[in-house]
Amino acid sequence: MTPTLYRERSVQKRRLRVIMTTSQAHTAVAVLGTGTMGAPIARNLHKAGFDVTAWNRSPAKAAPLSEDGVALASSPADAVRDVSVVVTVLKDADAVLEVLDAAAEALRPGTVLVQISTVGVEGITRIAEFAVSHQLRLIDAPVQGTKGPAENAQLVVLASGADSDRDAVEPVFDAIGKKTLWVAGEPGEASKLKVVVNSFISALTHGIAEAVRLAEALEIDAEDFQKAIHGGPLDAPFGSIKLDAILNQQFAPSFTVDNAIKDSRLVAEAAENAGVWLPVADAGLERYRAAAATGHGGDDMAASYFAESTVEESTHAF
SS3 for 257-281 is HHHHHHHHHHHHHHHHHHCCCCHHH
Among residues 308, 202, 219, 186, the alpha carbon closest in space to that of 265 is found at: 202
Residues 6+ apart with CB under 8 A from 210: none
Average pLDDT over residues 174-196: 97
User: What pLDDT shows up at residue 311?
Assistant: 56
CB 184 within 8 A of CB 163: no
Report the sign of the C-alpha dihedral through residues 274, 278, 283, 285, in that order: negative
Q: What is the pLDDT of residues 195-251, one digit of tens each?
A: 999 999 999 999 999 999 999 999 999 999 999 999 999 999 999 999 999 999 999
User: What pLDDT shows up at residue 1?
Assistant: 45
pLDDT interval class at 313 (50, 70, 90): very low
Does 24 have pLDDT greater than 60? no
Q: What is the pLDDT of residues 271-312, one digit of tens each?
A: 999 999 999 999 999 999 999 999 999 999 999 999 998 654
Share of the chain above pLDDT 90, in %: 88
CB 277 within 8 A of CB 271: yes
Reported as half-sphere exposure (CB side, CA atoms, 13 A), residue 28 has a value of: 12
pLDDT interval class at 26 (50, 70, 90): low
Does 19 have pLDDT greater than 50? no
Reported as half-sphere exposure (CB side, CA atoms, 13 A), residue 37 has a value of: 27
Query: H helices of the chain, where?
Result: 11-20, 38-47, 59-62, 76-80, 93-103, 120-133, 147-151, 166-176, 189-217, 222-229, 237-247, 257-274, 279-291
CA angle 34, 266, 171 (to 5 degrees): 45
Q: How far is CA 264 from the centre of its chain?
A: 13
User: What pLDDT shows up at residue 5?
Assistant: 43
Enter the pTM of the model: 0.87
Q: How many other CB atoms are found less than 10 A from the CB of residue 265?
A: 16
CB 68 within 8 A of CB 44: no
CB 141 within 8 A of CB 114: yes
Sheet containing 112-115: which strands, arranged edge to edge?
71-72, 51-55, 28-32, 85-88, 112-115, 137-140
Residues 6+ apart with CB under 8 A from 302: 205, 208, 209, 242, 245, 246, 251
Sheet containing 155-159: which strands, arranged edge to edge?
143-144, 155-159, 177-182
Q: What is the pLDDT of residues 79-132, one digit of tens each?
A: 999 999 999 999 999 999 999 999 999 999 999 999 999 999 999 999 999 999
Residue 43 to residue 46: CA distance in whole angstroms: 5
CB 251 within 8 A of CB 296: yes
Residues 6+ apart with CB under 8 A from 74: 55, 59
Residue 306 to residue 290: CA distance in whole angstroms: 8
Does 192 have pLDDT greater than 50? yes
Does 253 have pLDDT greater than 50? yes
CB 87 within 8 A of CB 31: yes
Mean pLDDT (the chain) is 91
User: What pLDDT shows up at residue 309?
Assistant: 86
